[in-house]
Chain A
Amino acid sequence: MAGAVSALFLLDIKGRVLVWRDYRGDVSALQAERFFTKLLDKEGDSEAHSPVVYDDAGVTYMFIQHNNVFLLTASRQNCNAASILLFLHRVVDVFKHYFEELEEESLRDNFVVVYELLDEMMDFGYPQYTEAKILSEFIKTDAYRMEVSQRPPMAVTNAVSWRSEGIRYKKNEVFLDVVESVNILVNSNGQIVRSDVVGALKMRTYLSGMPECKLGLNDRVLLEAQGRATKGKAIDLDDIKFHQCVRLARFENDRTISFIPPDGSFDLMTYRLSTQVKPLVWVEAQIEKHSRSRIELMVKARSQFKERSTATNVEIEVPVPSDATNPNIRTSMGSAAYAPERDAMVWKVKSFPGGKEYMCRAEFSLPSITAEEAAPEKKAPIRVKFEIPYFTVSGIQVRYLKIIEKSGYQALPWVRYITMAGEYELRLI
């Protein structure tokens, strides 16, 4: 079973081809453009479309959107859909690394490099190589171009395909951010429908040479296997995903996380916890509609974490009818404003200590006259954003991060913890 794509297109927001690379000579750009433009026209908003579409001529199109650019592949074979769609996302990452932002203008401004990259990242429709950092060692933009002919870095075909040799830093440092996003969905009756925590260990490495790293977490499975008394808290991680630098077979064997890191920033691992978490910020809203001409909101927000922690940049978005006008808003803390473009009132609190409760009252006029049996309004949920530094929901702890390099330097690891709101939704009645 094999499958390769026939061509990769970069299209503008109207579906017109900006740049395309034909890999197999069995599709036409014109046809792809025509098909895709029709597809966009039909629905108006492209959101309604599944990212995999079949046209009558036996061609499958897969696409993603980034800013005002569509990335589209056309294929005539039974190719690996997950791999191709993910590849498109990686192409976006590579372009972003090169041009800072991927958009119509940056593609036009760099079309020569775009062609070079498309040639290197995919061959005959098979994804080949998408490590932006390494690619930029032998495919350069004008500003950085050297006249000497470059060779492919060893990394392209090495077992360690994400790091080049010979990197040098004066000061060897590693920054490790443990970021946990809390996803929660609360029903209109106040019951938590689902909740989970998605964590990521985001690393930025500035290390010389080929450093061997070993990371120790308070992973219960590991600690029990080592027969250690679990002093402090050990945690269960539901599902762990590692960056390709981590030796998976080793982890499977003895739960050791060992790796040679790429240079710069990357996600070392992500994990998921599906245990029930208490909503860290609880929001209740009472909405009263008075005779269809006026609406009154009373929003209560309560922080349900320990007092020594503080949530920052709290933002609570409460939906209001789309025709609301004349806002009259009072808050007991922070500031709130009407955001008509989001059909919502947005209440911001810069600093929200644990165990506190704040209030916000608002009144809007509703000028529109609605029919007795009008279709229901769009029922958006209340959405909350926040960050809580120095705190993790899971209780995950980095026990050690050992860095060994043959030159024997000492490297400093810096670890930071933060919890933030992910998809944090509370449904209204």
Chain B
Amino acid sequence: MSGHDSKYFSTTKKGEIPELKEELNSQYKDKRKDAVKKVIAAMTVGKDVSSLFTDVVNCMQTENLELKKLVYLYLINYAKSQPDLAILAVNTFVKDSQDPNPLIRALAVRTMGCIRVDKITEYLCDPLQRCLKDDDPYVRKTAAICVAKLYDINAELVEDRGFLEALKDLISDNNPMVVANAVAALAEIQDSSARPIFEITSHTLSKLLTALNECTEWGQVFILDSLSRYKAADAREAENIVERVTPRLQHANCAVVLSAVKIILLQMELITSTDVVRNLCKKMAPPLVTLLSAEPEIQYVALRNINLIVQKRPTILAHEIKVFFCKYNDPIYVKMEKLEIMIKLASDRNIDQVLLEFKEYATEVDVDFVRKAVRAIGRCAIKLERAAERCISVLLELIKIKVNYVVQEAIIVIKDIFRRYPNTYESIIATLCESLDTLDEPEAKASMIWIIGEYAERIDNADELLESFLETFPEEPALVQLQLLTATVKLFLKKPTEGPQQMIQAVLNNATVETDNPDLRDRAYIYWRLLSTDPEAAKDVVLAEKPVISDDSNQLDSSLLDDLLANISTLSSVYHKPPEAFVSRVKTAPRADDEEFADTAETGYSESPSQGVDGASPSSSAGTSSNVPVKQPAAGAPAAPAPMPDLLGDLMGMDNSIVPVDEPTAPSGPPLPVLLPSTTGQGLQISAQLVRRDGQIFYDISFDNGTQAALDGFMIQFNKNTFGLAAGGPLQVPPLQPGASARTLLLMVVFQNLSPGAPNSLLQVAVKNNQQPVWYFNDKIPMHVFFGEDGKMERTSFLEAWKSLPDDNEFSKEFPASVISSIDATVEHLAASNVFFIAKRKNANKDVLYMSAKIPRGIPFLIELTAAVGVPGVKCAVKTPNKEMVALFFEAMESLLK
């Protein structure tokens, strides 16, 4: 049934567009149809054929279904770029939605919903209303989805026109496919709304369970997934639901099976009878195992989910470990996941067989897989005490093969085994030392050095071994340097002879004077001081007994686990992250934590439980918060590190030293926001704000002395921040008598002390005087102070710049509280802040203003403001090459438009 459409891709000699235009207006039907096909072909290969809009739309009124579909497809693609012309299509749409042929009715309403143009949307409502009540289920099922489309464009409209109720009515429809699509649409709408819209009652529950038996496989997935939100009232109802869902485990569609497993697992939480639970576990095992015969991509999803399931209910698959053994031709991503599950299922009963498998894998060719296999042996050793010895002997056998990366990986895991079982397996150290010269990876080197230091008293030539590493000390990576430092100290404490003494001096010298790594330097100083003040105390500290470790790597925290189990089969369960961590709403400023998420790779074996599950929650870094409330940037940039210690460290180590207070000046102006209230400042109140004057940035700061004593010697310091703001001169505040106040302008410079990481508006300030402790407070950097006087763009260069930036650099945001009461006043007001007016146009009842601004280093912002005069709500769209700054930009604009 092969077609010959490829001819439509060929181009002609004569200019393509004019020729197509001619053909589209041909009087012959066939010629017109061919022309539309050529247009679609051009669109497919990415050519811009939007200029043919009118001509294509003229072909819309046709009896030919194929042609109609093509024109509709064209409309979906280009209506947005030609919103004014798109209105030409409305009439045909409305007419088609009443066509006697249900295919055409459905097609019209389906396509209209895809055209995201406000004007079209207005006309969609009536046809949609009709189609929701159409006689033909094919039209109704399409209309159901269309409500979700409309909600995505204009939620208010959907609610006003009562479409939500109509959609809910469809749950009782007699056609199962209509029910399934209504459920999908409602679930989506519920997801984007905070109000309860779609609540499953016991009544809807039974409707859904009935529809489940009859709708298509994809519809079954929609229904099962939405049922997973239902909380059964009691154990009996839970059992009832499970009973109705269990037959789905026999479905050939893996997605249906996984979604059924999800519901059963969720309802099992409520079921009290242990017999029922045991029985269900028995029932779920075979279908889960069968998932491993599916296509490799599905297997991957299944394995990621099984990983979660065995953490929650280890018994289900306890006897099935063999099915997770890797096949030679399994794709590597499947093998890696199988390995992870094998470790989880390894037990005293099956460890021999599992070790045999791991050993087999450790001689394969894929280096990553081999490493993971070796690591798996180590993790089993740590997990299963009785098997540790056998694991070690397998590791030793592998070391003897002398494949470089196997040896290194083995040494890393053996270090962990030593920590888990101290004083048990040290006899193998001699074998390990044989491979010393082959180590070239930092982690392996560090592990070996740790072993030598830890067991220095048992290794006769420990000093020689360590010395061999010392020669290259300056070139080693930090990880190795730190281990070398500690190991040398241990050696010295255990064997305080002449050799080690010389070594320790060399190391300490290296680590304090010749390094610029503060961690290493600090650790070296601590050791140095310890050793020079009290060697006995040093012994107590350095040689203290270490806590025993356990294998908790990749073990998820139980609340997160429950969260993920409620999301079985979805991306969340594949990533092992809650949906909030990666789901992004469109066309809003990118959230900073999205970027952190990029790393979905598993972290390997780790001693700290937190490492495997970072959960992408940035707030964890803000462990301690100071007494000043931390102002968070609105867009959810990562929280700042605890200000106290950091700031102090920076205060000491900074180049631009603390600025002393000199002559007094007394500027005046509107009152400044209070940043340090007098209650916190023991009577001293500080208010400040960043301002821009004559092309320069100043910190407008005022002090009110509410204490009982005079204060003098004011100094100020700024912590590292996104824009690298720092004091450009001394802070000029006169000595303040009790009750007196002073206000000054401090010149600021930029790009002095930049903080790495995602941009945020946090400015941390420290102020001290001679009488009081140092005060820390947080200020917010209003981005508009950086808008330069050179930010004005010509119309043409604005247009060029707008076009040259890709669409995904465009962001928009609503400022619901802002009102533009007069265009001129707004333009003037914004110009005062260096946001320059370029052009404006009318769009319906709204005005669209185009403006530009520029921040240092020549980063432009191309701005489009849309608002109706006098009506609250301003839509701000911006395009900029620097996406990271968008959140800050919106903040600034919103404050400017207040």
Chain A residues within 8 Å of B, Cβ to Cβ: 1-4, 17-19, 22-26, 28-31, 47-52, 54-60, 62, 64, 75-83, 85-89, 98-100, 105-106, 108-113, 115-116, 119, 123-124, 126-130, 138, 141-145, 147, 149-152, 156-157, 159, 161, 185, 187-188, 193-194, 196, 198, 238-244, 247-249, 251-252, 267, 269-270, 272, 274, 373, 375-376, 378-381, 423, 425, 427
In chain B, what residue has the closest Cβ to A237?
B286
**Which among B3, B110, B217, B807 has the highest number of chain A CB atoms within 10 Å?**
B3
Residue B835 is within 8 A (CB to CB) of chain A in the complex? no
A1-B191, A52-B574, A375-B403 as given contacts; A244 in contact with B251, CB under 8 Å: yes
Instruction: Provide the residues of chain B in CB contact with A25, threshold 8 Å.
Output: 80, 114, 116
In chain A, what residue has the closest Cβ to B181?
A126
How far is B467's CA from A91's CA once the two chains are assembled, in angstroms? 64
How far is B229's CA from A100's CA once the two chains are assembled, in angstroms? 42
Residue B823 is within 8 A (CB to CB) of chain A in the complex? no
Q: Which 7 A-B pairs have the closest CB atoms?
A: A58-B584, A239-B286, A83-B255, A2-B187, A248-B247, A50-B333, A51-B297
Instruction: Provide the residues of chain A in CB contact with B161, threshold 8 Å.
Output: none
Residue B843 is within 8 A (CB to CB) of chain A in the complex? no
Contact A78 B567 (CB under 8 A): yes
Tell me, rounded to whole Å, the shortest Cβ–Cβ distance linking B328 to chain A.
Answer: 5
Indicate which residue in B69, B225, B301, B363 contacts A115 across the interface (CB closer than 8 Å). B69
Tell me, rounded to whole Å, the shortest Cβ–Cβ distance linking B580 to chain A.
Answer: 9
Instruction: Provide the residues of chain A in CB contact with B289, threshold 8 Å.
Output: 238-239, 272, 274
Tell me, rounded to whole Å, the shortest Cβ–Cβ distance linking A268 to chain B.
Answer: 9
Residue B176 is within 8 A (CB to CB) of chain A in the complex? yes
Q: Which of B1-55 contact A (CB under 8 A)?
A: 1-6, 8-9, 37, 40-41, 44, 46
Main DSSP-derived SS at the B contact region = helix
Tell me, rounded to whole Å, the shortest Cβ–Cβ distance linking A189 to chain B.
Answer: 8
Instruction: Provide the residues of chain A in CB contact with B191, threshold 8 Å.
Output: 1-2, 77
Residue B857 is within 8 A (CB to CB) of chain A in the complex? no
- Between A and B, 23 residue pairs with Cβ closer than 8 Å are A1-B567, A24-B152, A30-B807, A47-B331, A51-B297, A52-B300, A54-B575, A57-B594, A80-B259, A82-B259, A85-B301, A86-B255, A109-B3, A115-B70, A123-B145, A124-B114, A143-B1, A159-B214, A193-B357, A194-B323, A248-B248, A251-B247, A272-B290
Contact A86 B298 (CB under 8 A): yes
Contact A1 B570 (CB under 8 A): yes
How far is B322's CA from A80's CA once the two chains are assembled, in angstroms? 28
Contact B571 A52 (CB under 8 A): yes
How far is B148's CA from A238's CA once the two chains are assembled, in angstroms? 41
Indicate which residue in A26, A28, A88, A106 contacts B587 across the interface (CB closer than 8 Å). A26
Contact A248 B250 (CB under 8 A): yes
Instruction: Provide the residues of chain B in CB contact with A143, threshold 8 Å.
Output: 1-3
Contact A194 B808 (CB under 8 A): no
Residue B517 is within 8 A (CB to CB) of chain A in the complex? no
Indicate which residue in A2, A49, A187 contacts B356 across the interface (CB closer than 8 Å). A187
A48-B332, A152-B106, A252-B250 as given contacts; A119 in contact with B69, CB under 8 Å: yes
Instruction: Provide the residues of chain B in CB contact with A23, threshold 8 Å.
Output: 114
Contact B218 A112 (CB under 8 A): no
The digit string for B288-304, where 1 denotes a CB below 8 A from any CB of A, is: 01100101111011100
Q: Interface size of B by Cβ–Cβ distance < 8 Å?
A: 133
Instruction: Provide the residues of chain B in CB contact with A51, threshold 8 Å.
Output: 296-297, 300, 333
Indicate which residue in A31, A81, A150 contacts B570 across the interface (CB closer than 8 Å). A81
Tell me, rounded to whole Å, the shortest Cβ–Cβ distance linking B398 to chain A.
Answer: 11
Residue B754 is within 8 A (CB to CB) of chain A in the complex? no
How far is B333's CA from A58's CA once the two chains are assembled, in angstroms? 22
Instruction: Provide the residues of chain A in CB contact with B184, threshold 8 Å.
Output: 2, 4, 126
Residue B791 is within 8 A (CB to CB) of chain A in the complex? no
The digit string for B512-543, where 1 denotes a CB below 8 A from any CB of A, is: 00000000000000000000000000000000
How far is B188's CA from A17's CA once the two chains are assembled, in angstroms? 28
Indicate which residue in B6, B217, B356 contacts A109 across the interface (CB closer than 8 Å). B6
Indicate which residue in A31, A77, A142 contacts B3 across the interface (CB closer than 8 Å). A142
Contact B250 A157 (CB under 8 A): no
A239-B286, A239-B287 as given contacts; A58 in contact with B594, CB under 8 Å: yes
Contact B328 A425 (CB under 8 A): yes
Contact A110 B5 (CB under 8 A): yes
How far is B566's CA from A428's CA once the two chains are assembled, in angstroms? 44
Indicate which residue in B77, B217, B293, B598 contacts A54 across the interface (CB closer than 8 Å). B598
Contact A376 B333 (CB under 8 A): no
Tell me, rounded to whole Å, the shortest Cβ–Cβ distance linking B449 to chain A.
Answer: 24
In chain B, what residue has the closest Cβ to A161?
B216
Tell me, rounded to whole Å, the shortest Cβ–Cβ distance linking B152 to chain A.
Answer: 7
Contact A2 B190 (CB under 8 A): yes
The digit string for B573-609, where 1 denotes a CB below 8 A from any CB of A, is: 1110001001111110011001101101000000000
A108-B9, A111-B41 as given contacts; A376 in contact with B401, CB under 8 Å: yes
Residue B777 is within 8 A (CB to CB) of chain A in the complex? no
How far is B856's CA from A206's CA once the two chains are assembled, in angstroms? 75
Tell me, rounded to whole Å, the shortest Cβ–Cβ distance linking A336 to chain B.
Answer: 21
Contact B286 A272 (CB under 8 A): yes
A126-B184, A142-B4 as given contacts; A152 in contact with B103, CB under 8 Å: yes
Instruction: Provide the residues of chain A in CB contact with B590, threshold 8 Å.
Output: 57-58
In chain B, what residue has the closest Cβ to A372?
B402
Contact B583 A157 (CB under 8 A): no
Residue B775 is within 8 A (CB to CB) of chain A in the complex? no
Residue B806 is within 8 A (CB to CB) of chain A in the complex? yes
Instruction: Provide the residues of chain A in CB contact with B104, threshold 8 Å.
Output: 149
How far is B222's CA from A238's CA once the two chains are assembled, in angstroms? 28
How far is B330's CA from A47's CA once the two chains are assembled, in angstroms? 10
The digit string for B539-574, where 1 denotes a CB below 8 A from any CB of A, is: 000000000000000000000000000110111111
Instruction: Provide the residues of chain B in CB contact with A59, threshold 8 Å.
Output: 584
Residue B327 is within 8 A (CB to CB) of chain A in the complex? yes
Contact A80 B221 (CB under 8 A): yes
Indicate which residue in A47, A60, A76 contacts B332 across the interface (CB closer than 8 Å). A47
A116-B66, A239-B286, A249-B247 as given contacts; A423 in contact with B2, CB under 8 Å: no
How far is B187's CA from A120's CA once the two chains are assembled, in angstroms? 21
Tell me, rounded to whole Å, the shortest Cβ–Cβ distance linking B367 to chain A.
Answer: 9
How far is B572's CA from A252's CA once the two chains are assembled, in angstroms? 31
Tell me, rounded to whole Å, the shortest Cβ–Cβ distance linking A249 to chain B.
Answer: 5
Instruction: Provide the residues of chain A in CB contact with B221, threshold 8 Å.
Output: 80, 83, 127
Indicate which residue in B137, B300, B574 contacts A157 across the interface (CB closer than 8 Å). B137
**Which among B9, B73, B255 has the highest number of chain A CB atoms within 10 Å?**
B255
Instruction: Provide the residues of chain A in CB contact with B222, threshold 8 Å.
Output: 126
Contact B218 A244 (CB under 8 A): no
Indicate which residue in A31, A156, A161 contacts B806 across the interface (CB closer than 8 Å). A31
Contact A81 B331 (CB under 8 A): no
Residue B228 is within 8 A (CB to CB) of chain A in the complex? yes
Tell me, rounded to whole Å, the shortest Cβ–Cβ distance linking B121 to chain A.
Answer: 13
A1-B191, A47-B332 as given contacts; A76 in contact with B3, CB under 8 Å: no
How far is B65's CA from A150's CA once the two chains are assembled, in angstroms? 8
How far is B216's CA from A249's CA once the two chains are assembled, in angstroms? 15
Contact B583 A76 (CB under 8 A): yes
The digit string for B214-235, where 1 denotes a CB below 8 A from any CB of A, is: 1111100110011011000000
Indicate which residue in A108, A130, A147, A381 contacts B6 across the interface (CB closer than 8 Å). A108
In chain B, what residue has the closest Cβ to A144?
B1
